[in-house]
Structure 1
């Protein structure tokens, strides 16, 4: 499957990796931005498969209903109800703490729409689980998937967010007007 994904991603679609997902770390949060199109999902899944590193994700529960729910679960997804306050951060921290290996991919924007501020759930998940953040971006303008070294959070949230946001400067999503 890895070879097939690499063929599609690199040879057919023309993408390339800059950096790699850490193979020696069993737990981390991956934040991927900008998230501006439904096309981000299949490219991210191909990138994950091409890397050989399993990265799970969460998605709105409506994606996991029939007829396609089985497909999203098979790709490593878990449904979440975003319509109510259900202590999602705590639940995901519990998943990290209960597993020997778990990597979670998330969009810091939490939507494909243009946002002024990122959501903070990914930050509190990483803090609560005491795991680093790996940044990844789908740069559609240059067809590159850039992946950072793990970043270990500090006690200064503003400093952490400033550092994280710098990684995504000048990256063009599929719909750059939404970046």
Structure 2
């Protein structure tokens, strides 16, 4: 059912799914979502995950999961977070990944749809802590393609890993370029 819905969304909007990554490695990974500049990212990303058959979880403000339509967000993989409380999302994510054979934790690299000076690093600490690879999810609005650019094991050398990620995302076109900073560190 979900896969059909995903294919329907991509067909209606004229999008294509292009994935060159090793999907077996992607199935248990921390996936970066970049660039993240629009609410439309949600629809195209979820549709792409469903086409690929991925079990994806992502964090969202708990006001969404507690709302009238909260069940829909949870159905798509949302995990509500109280942003006014101090949460250890990195440790929680590591534990969640360790409890599943296959699961993708989706992390928007910028942490917001607005322009930021540098990307958040939580994804890096989650992947290292859970000993899982990082997969590079993307949506290219100019080409109308989405998918996974690559999946790789972190080296532990943050600068080298971030430079690799930065180069992979360089050719990707966001919905709102003014809200995207391709410099990740």
Instruction: Give TM-score scaled by structure 1 length.
Output: 0.92
1:5-154 alignment to 2 at 5 Å? 5-9=6-10, 11-19=11-19, 22-25=22-25, 26-154=27-155
> Alpha-carbon deviation of 1:86?
1.8
Give 3-state SS (helix, strand or coil) of 2:43's partner: helix
CA distance in 1, matches of 2:104, 2:173: 25
For structure 1, list consecutive stretches of 5 or more residues without a partner in the other structure: none
CA distance in 2, matches of 1:73, 1:101: 18
Structure-2 change in CA distance of 1:137 and 1:94 (3 Å) = same
Give 3-state SS (helix, strand or coil) of 1:44's partner: helix
95-104 vs 18-27, which moves further: 18-27
Give 3-state SS (helix, strand or coil) of 2:24's partner: coil
Decide whether the 8 Å contact of 2:93 with 2:105 is kept in 1: no
> Alpha-carbon deviation of 1:20?
5.2
Aligned residues: 178
Instruction: Give TM-score scaled by structure 2 length.
Output: 0.89
CA distance in 1, matches of 2:44, 2:85: 30
Decide whether the 8 Å contact of 1:31 with 1:107 is kept in 2: yes
Structure-2 change in CA distance of 1:60 and 1:21 (3 Å) = farther
Structure-2 change in CA distance of 1:133 and 1:167 (3 Å) = same
Which deviations, in whole Å up to 9, do the C-alpha atoms of 1:18-74 show, x marking residues without a partner? 215644234101101111011110111111111122222111212112212111001
> Alpha-carbon deviation of 1:146?
4.0
> Alpha-carbon deviation of 1:102?
1.6
Decide whether the 8 Å contact of 2:35 with 2:174 is kept in 1: yes
CA distance in 2, matches of 1:128, 1:141: 35
For structure 2, list consecutive stretches of 5 or more residues without a partner in the other structure: 181-185
Give 3-state SS (helix, strand or coil) of 1:73's partner: helix
